Amino acid sequence: ASGRASITVRDILAVSQWQPVPQCGYQCVSCCRVFPTLWSVKTHIQHSSQEGYSCNVYYRRLKALWEKEHKEQEAAAPRE
C-alpha cells in the first residue's frame, strides 16, 4: 500500500531541499528538469511515465523509504 502512496507537495519540497534550486522554478530531483511552478513539477511527476521518465516511481519509492525510516525511529524511541 505504501508503494502506491500519493506524492504530495510537501514531499516534493522536502526532496528539493537536498539540492540548490535554481531561482527560476522547482527542480524534479529524479530527472533534474526545472519547472516554473510547484504545481507543474507535481503534474510532471504524476505523468512522468507518459513522457518517458520514471520520476513517479522514484518519488513513490523515496516516500516509502521515508515512511519505513519514520516507523523504525518511532519503534526505537524510548517510551516514557
Residue 1 pLDDT grade (very low, low, confident, very high; cuts 50, 70, 90):
very low
Say whether 27 sits in a helix, a strand or coil: strand
**Separation of alpha carbons 57 and 67, rounded Å:** 15
Per-residue pLDDT of 10-60, as tens digits, reads 877 777 766 655 567 888 889 988 898 889 999 999 998 888 889 999 989
The whole-model pTM stands at 0.60
